[in-house]
């Protein structure tokens, strides 16, 4: 039997012999059934024979499998002239790239990153920001209201409130995240991303604001110099309020961000004494900055999830 196993040439034959030996009606199976009639020595002998045979089957099986594998490999030809399939490795989304750049610049200026919930209550999104219930400035932002009176955050300014409530003054923070408004065209989507900066201390001034904004833009766009235009504006949470434009490619002015000195009422709402502390805040959309930096022309494309478009755009 042992020789027979060793000489078997195919896996099929081996399988057949295995069944004939250990199968339901196999020879070994039959002998094992009669084991109770044997004396101790004969039993031990039979057990040994049983396990030796099983082991032999196993060894022969792996030998034959190995042979089959090698034979198969020899038949295969590798055509090294074929171009390999390009690998489809994932990359970071442009918005993620922009966020990483923006965060590392602001952190290098000493701003600390804060986040907040996207479903906000009225207090943090509006009221604490000096925009009480019937304030006309609420119409500046087309809000998604939830049935319980909460809103989808319309502005990351809500995060500055949360940070001041929690940490008080002095504080130098930036908040980032998704914001939501009922609007949709090539440069606006119902969801977009904002960055909010805030710096409150004893003698922070508008000049500090403009300096930080200018340096930030220089680094983000990797330009030697950026030309800014400061226009007076209105936001309920800043007084005075400004809008910052940037000269783009030598010819046109781009509106980039809103900013201003934080309104004393906003500080008071967060438990900070405006007689002692003052400072600035600024806010802007970072999808827009990403579009400018990477030369993209339709904001909605950023969120379509179309990999062909992302690859075409160089990502
Ligand atoms: N929250 C404003 C908006 O969404 C942007 C903004 C303007 C933020 C001025 C500020 C600020 O902090 O000072 O339109």
The answer to whether 299 and 189 have CB atoms below 8 angstroms apart is yes
Residues in contact with 133: Cβ distance below 8 Å, sequence separation at least 6, in sequence order: 127
What number does the ligand 1 atom closest to the CA of 238 have? Answer: 13
Q: In this structure, which residue's CA is closest to atom 4 in ligand 1?
A: 155
Tell me the CA distances in angstroms from 200 to 194, 214, 263, one per residue in order: 20, 19, 11
The answer to whether 29 and 23 have CB atoms below 8 angstroms apart is yes
Residue entry with tokens 């379509």: 304
Expressed in angstroms and rounded, the spacing between residue 126 Cα and the centre of ligand 1 is: 12
Q: In this structure, which residue's CA is closest to atom 12 in ligand 1?
A: 282
Cα end-to-end span (Å), the chain: 66
220-231 b/e (C-beta count within 10 Å ≥ 16 → b)? beeeeebeeeee
Residue to mutate (ligand 1; options 238, 264, 283, 289; most atoms within 8 A of CB): 283
Residue to mutate (ligand 1; options 114, 239, 259; most atoms within 8 A of CB): 259
Nearest-angstrom CA–CA distance, 263 and 7: 95
* 61 class by beta-carbon count within 10 Å (0-12 exposed, 13-18 middle, 19+ buried): middle
Expressed in angstroms and rounded, the spacing between residue 194 Cα and the centre of ligand 1 is: 9
Residues in contact with 126: Cβ distance below 8 Å, sequence separation at least 6, in sequence order: 132, 135, 138, 151
Expressed in angstroms and rounded, the spacing between residue 285 Cα and the centre of ligand 1 is: 10
The answer to whether 313 and 95 have CB atoms below 8 angstroms apart is no
Helix intervals (H) in the chain: 2-7, 11-22, 27-33, 40-75, 94-108, 122-125, 157-167, 206-220, 264-269, 286-294, 307-312
How many other CB atoms are there within 10 angstroms of residue 46's CB atom? 16
Q: Which two tokens stand for residue 312?
A: 């075409």
* pLDDT per residue as tens, the chain (315 positions): 888 999 999 999 999 999 999 999 999 999 999 988 999 999 999 999 999 999 999 999 999 999 999 988 888 887 788 777 777 777 888 888 889 999 999 999 999 999 999 999 999 999 999 998 888 777 777 899 999 999 999 999 999 999 999 999 999 999 999 999 988 776 677 888 999 999 999 999 999 999 999 999 999 999 999 999 999 999 999 999 999 999 988 889 999 999 999 999 999 999 999 999 999 999 999 888 888 888 887 777 888 888 888 887 777
What number does the ligand 1 atom closest to the CA of 280 have? Answer: 13
Expressed in angstroms and rounded, the spacing between residue 261 Cα and the centre of ligand 1 is: 11
Residue to mutate (ligand 1; options 125, 155, 213, 286; most atoms within 8 A of CB): 155
Q: In this structure, which residue's CA is closest to atom 13 in ligand 1?
A: 259
Expressed in angstroms and rounded, the spacing between residue 241 Cα and the centre of ligand 1 is: 9
Q: Residue count of the chain, please give it.
A: 315
What number does the ligand 1 atom closest to the CA of 262 have? Answer: 13
What number does the ligand 1 atom closest to the CA of 283 have? Answer: 8
């Amino acid at each position: 039997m042992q020789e027979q196993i060793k000489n078997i040439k195919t896996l099929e034959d081996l399988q057949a012999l295995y069944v004939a030996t250990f199968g339901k009606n196999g020879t070994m199976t039959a002998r094992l059934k009669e084991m109770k009639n044997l004396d101790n020595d004969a039993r031990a002998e039979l057990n040994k024979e049983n396990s030796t045979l099983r082991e032999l089957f196993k060894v022969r099986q792996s030998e034959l499998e190995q042979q089959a594998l090698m034979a198969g490999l020899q038949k295969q030809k590798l055509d090294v002239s074929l171009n390999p399939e390009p690998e489809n490795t994932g990359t970071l989304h442009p918005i993620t790239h922009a966020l990483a750049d923006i965060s590392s610049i602001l952190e290098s200026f000493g701003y600390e990153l804060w986040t907040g919930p996207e479903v906000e209550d009225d207090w943090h999104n509006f009221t604490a920001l000096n925009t009480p219930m019937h304030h006309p400035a609420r119409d500046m932002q087309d809000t998604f209201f939830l049935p319980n009176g909460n809103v989808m955050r319309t502005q990351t300014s809500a995060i500055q409130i949360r940070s001041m409530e929690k940490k008080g003054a002095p504080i130098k923070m930036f908040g980032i995240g998704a914001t939501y408004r009922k609007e949709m065209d090539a440069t606006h989507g119902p969801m977009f991303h904002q960055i909010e900066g805030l710096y409150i201390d004893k003698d922070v001034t508008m000049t500090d604001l403009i300096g930080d904004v200018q340096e930030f833009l220089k680094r983000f766009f990797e330009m030697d110099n950026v030309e800014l235009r400061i226009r007076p504006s209105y936001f309920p949470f800043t007084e005075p309020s400004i809008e910052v434009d940037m000269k783009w490619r030598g010819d046109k002015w781009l509106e980039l961000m809103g900013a201003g000195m934080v309104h004393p009422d906003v500080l008071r709402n967060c438990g900070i004494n405006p007689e002692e502390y003052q400072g600035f805040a600024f806010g802007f959309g970072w999808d827009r900055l990403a579009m400018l930096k990477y030369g993209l022309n339709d904001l909605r494309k950023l969120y379509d999830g179309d990999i062909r478009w992302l690859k075409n755009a160089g990502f």
